[in-house]
């Protein structure tokens, strides 16, 4: 895989596009098309719409009456088509139980880690997640974190599902607590440059919170990420507001995630920088944390993404949809991602309903409403292998 440096996170992923020439074109018509295209209003719904998939990309989108002819046609029967879902914040590579994964992850073989991740990727794809981010962070040694990134690359290498790897500066490991400055130096001077050189991740995420990294440490780690040509993201204010949102805004990071605790100045910094606020309702519910200030973020004009569940979480249906499509793509630096528009990857879902509002209400059961998932133009069967066409 040879790519140019990818400070915005898009080049590495783009390199994984299939290269064989497109031979057939599929037109799906008689559909309600939710484009999530920013040039259209709200979620960009087109009633009586159609789309044309050509090879791995969307070639055309518009009104049914104007649709081009395709080699194959599919009548959607008035049902809804949306972009494929994007989960922009996961910790999907580990062994054992996630909450106590350091020991088991260090002890696991590459094959075990890869098999575990592949299983989780398949589960996500079956639920319509055509792009998924995966963070490291359960080894916390230089060699171990590099190994996790290589396992992510191997697990995703043969797949059409987009996998976006992130290096997570998660915690200071227990055996290094007494020498934490040396550990931070090692991250900045060895691990991050190696990750940048080998293009093993597109961004560095720093967990800046009580019990994790301090604001000064986060600033040093972000500076190293910048030098390595990697984009910046942050676990921010999950338990205590240390000012990390202000820092990420100042440095024009891609996203600030969690935000249960955030000041007005932090919100203003994210708005000014165009940094995406990533909401994690699943973590809030599990840990009984307060809900992030969705109203204030909305009023400040901060784009919000949602990782994990499609729950409302004080957000409107349109915001929830943009949160798992266009805004999630932005949090990963995937320009044009999460939309149905000309030239974007043909990652789309055909739903067994016609109303976008039906889907977020099916807490955990939305998968049953999925009729078909197309990933890079390939229609997946129930067992997730491409269907013969
Ligand atoms: Fe997290």
Residues 18-53 have pLDDT tens digits of 444 444 699 999 999 999 999 999 999 999 999 999
- The answer to whether the CB of 87 falls within 8 A of the CB of 70 is no
Q: How many angstroms is it from 11 CA to the middle of ligand 1? A: 24
Using pLDDT thresholds of 50, 70 and 90, give the confidence band for residue 273. very high
Same domain flag for 193 and 272 = yes
- How far CA 201 is from CA of 179, 207, 338, in Å, comes to 26, 16, 20
386 has pLDDT over 90: no
Q: What was the pLDDT predicted at 315? A: 80
7 has pLDDT over 90: no
Residue of 60, 37, 34, 36 whose CA lies nearest to 45: 34
Same domain flag for 133 and 252 = yes
Residue in the block written with tokens 């957000």: 315
Mean pLDDT of 68-90: 94
Q: How many angstroms is it from 79 CA to the middle of ligand 1? A: 34
> Higher confidence at residue 124 or residue 296?
296
CATH number (domain holding residue 24): 2.30.40.10
Mean pLDDT of 96-119: 88
Q: How many angstroms is it from 354 CA to the middle of ligand 1? A: 33
Q: How many angstroms is it from 270 CA to the middle of ligand 1? A: 19
Examine the fold and report which residue of 290, 312, 331 is the final residue of a domain before the chain moves on.
Answer: 331
Q: How many angstroms is it from 59 CA to the middle of ligand 1? A: 35
pLDDT digits (tens, 9 = 90+) for 334-380: 988 999 999 999 999 999 999 998 887 665 666 778 999 999 999 98
Q: What was the pLDDT predicted at 303? A: 97
Provide the token pair at 163: 């996998």
Same domain flag for 29 and 127 = no
Q: How far apart are CA 51 and CA 58, in angstroms?
A: 7
Same domain flag for 16 and 154 = no
Q: How many angstroms is it from 345 CA to the middle of ligand 1? A: 27
Provide the token pair at 315: 């957000």
Q: How many angstroms is it from 162 CA to the middle of ligand 1? A: 19
Residue 242: inside a domain: yes
- The answer to whether the CB of 180 falls within 8 A of the CB of 169 is no
Percent of the chain topping pLDDT 70: 87
pLDDT digits (tens, 9 = 90+) for 166-221: 999 999 999 999 999 999 999 999 999 999 999 999 999 999 999 999 999 999 99
Same domain flag for 152 and 68 = no
pLDDT digits (tens, 9 = 90+) for 303-325: 999 986 434 466 888 998 999 99
8 has pLDDT over 50: no
Same domain flag for 127 and 72 = no
Residue 167: inside a domain: yes
CATH number (domain holding residue 148): 3.20.20.140
Q: What was the pLDDT predicted at 382? A: 52
Q: How many angstroms is it from 73 CA to the middle of ligand 1? A: 41
To the nearest 10°, report the CA torsion of 100, 103, 109, 113.
Answer: 20
Total domains in the chain come to 2
Q: How many angstroms is it from 90 CA to the middle of ligand 1? A: 6
> Higher confidence at residue 102 or residue 172?
172
Q: How many angstroms is it from 169 CA to the middle of ligand 1? A: 11
Same domain flag for 39 and 15 = yes
Q: What was the pLDDT predicted at 33? A: 98
10 has pLDDT over 70: no
Q: How many angstroms is it from 45 CA to the middle of ligand 1? A: 32
Residue 4: inside a domain: no
Residue 169: inside a domain: yes
Single pTM value for the model: 0.88
Q: What was the pLDDT predicted at 312? A: 47
pLDDT digits (tens, 9 = 90+) for 282-295: 777 777 888 899 99
Task: Output the 3-class SS for 69-128.
Answer: CCCEEEECCCCEEEECEEECCCCCCCCCCHHHCHHHHHHCCHHHHHHHHHHHHHHHHHCC
Residue 385: inside a domain: no
Q: How far apart are CA 337 and CA 331, in angstroms?
A: 10
Q: What was the pLDDT predicted at 182? A: 98
pLDDT digits (tens, 9 = 90+) for 109-138: 999 999 999 999 998 898 899 999 999 999
Q: What was the pLDDT predicted at 104? A: 93
Residue 5: inside a domain: no
Q: What was the pLDDT predicted at 281? A: 84
Rounded to the nearest integer, the mean pLDDT of the chain is 89
Q: How many angstroms is it from 240 CA to the middle of ligand 1? A: 15
Same domain flag for 125 and 246 = yes
Q: How many angstroms is it from 46 CA to the middle of ligand 1? A: 35
Same domain flag for 347 and 278 = no
Q: How many angstroms is it from 283 CA to the middle of ligand 1? A: 8
Residue 281: inside a domain: yes
All residues at 6 or more sequence positions from 376 whose CB lies less than 8 Å from its CB, including other chains: 17, 18, 56, 160, 345, 346, 347
pLDDT digits (tens, 9 = 90+) for 45-65: 999 999 999 999 999 999 999
Q: Which domain holds residue 177?
A: 85-331
Q: What was the pLDDT predicted at 365? A: 65
Same domain flag for 52 and 123 = no
Q: How many angstroms is it from 50 CA to the middle of ligand 1? A: 37
All residues at 6 or more sequence positions from 76 whose CB lies less than 8 Å from its CB, including other chains: 28, 29, 30, 31, 350
φ, ψ (nearest 5 deg) of residue 13: -70, -40
């Amino acid at each position: 895989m040879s790519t140019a440096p990818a400070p915005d996170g898009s080049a590495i992923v783009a390199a994984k596009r299939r290269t064989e020439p497109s031979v057939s074109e599929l037109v799906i018509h008689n559909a309600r098309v939710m484009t999530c295209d920013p040039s259209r209003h709200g979620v960009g719904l087109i009633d009586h719409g159609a789309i044309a998939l050509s090879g791995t990309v969307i070639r055309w989108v518009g009104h049914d009456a104007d649709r081009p002819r395709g080699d194959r046609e599919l009548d959607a029967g008035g049902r809804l088509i949306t972009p494929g879902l994007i989960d922009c914040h996961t910790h999907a590579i580990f062994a054992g139980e996630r909450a106590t994964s350091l020991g088991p992850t260090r002890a696991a073989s590459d094959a075990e880690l890869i098999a575990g991740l592949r299983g989780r990727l398949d589960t996500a794809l079956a639920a319509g997640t055509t792009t998924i981010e995966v963070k490291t962070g359960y080894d916390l040694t230089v060699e171990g974190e590099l190994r996790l990134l290589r396992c992510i690359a191997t697990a995703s290498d043969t797949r059409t599902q987009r996998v976006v790897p992130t290096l997570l500066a998660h915690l200071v490991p227990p055996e290094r607590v007494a020498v934490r400055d040396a550990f931070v130096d090692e991250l900045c001077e060895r691990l991050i440059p190696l990750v940048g050189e080998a293009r093993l991740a597109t961004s560095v995420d720093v967990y800046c919170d009580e019990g994790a990294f301090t604001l000064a440490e986060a600033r040093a780690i972000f500076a190293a990420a910048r030098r390595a040509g990697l984009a910046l993201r942050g676990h921010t204010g999950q338990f205590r507001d240390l000012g990390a949102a202000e820092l990420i805004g100042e440095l024009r990071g891609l996203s600030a995630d969690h935000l249960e605790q955030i000041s007005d100045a932090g919100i203003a910094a994210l708005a000014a920088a165009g940094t995406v606020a990533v909401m994690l309702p699943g973590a809030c519910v599990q840990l009984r944390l307060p809900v992030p200030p969705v109203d204030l973020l909305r009023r400040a004009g901060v784009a919000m993404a949602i990782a994990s569940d499609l729950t409302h979480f004080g957000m409107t249906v349109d915001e929830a949809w943009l949160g798992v499509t266009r805004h999630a793509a932005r949090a990963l630096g995937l320009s044009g991602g999460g939309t149905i528009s000309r030239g974007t990857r043909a990652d789309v879902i055909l739903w067994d309903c016609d109303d976008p509002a039906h889907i977020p209400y099916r807490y955990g059961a939305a998968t049953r409403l999925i009729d078909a998932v197309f990933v890079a133009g390939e229609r997946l069967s129930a067992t997730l292998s491409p269907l013969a066409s």
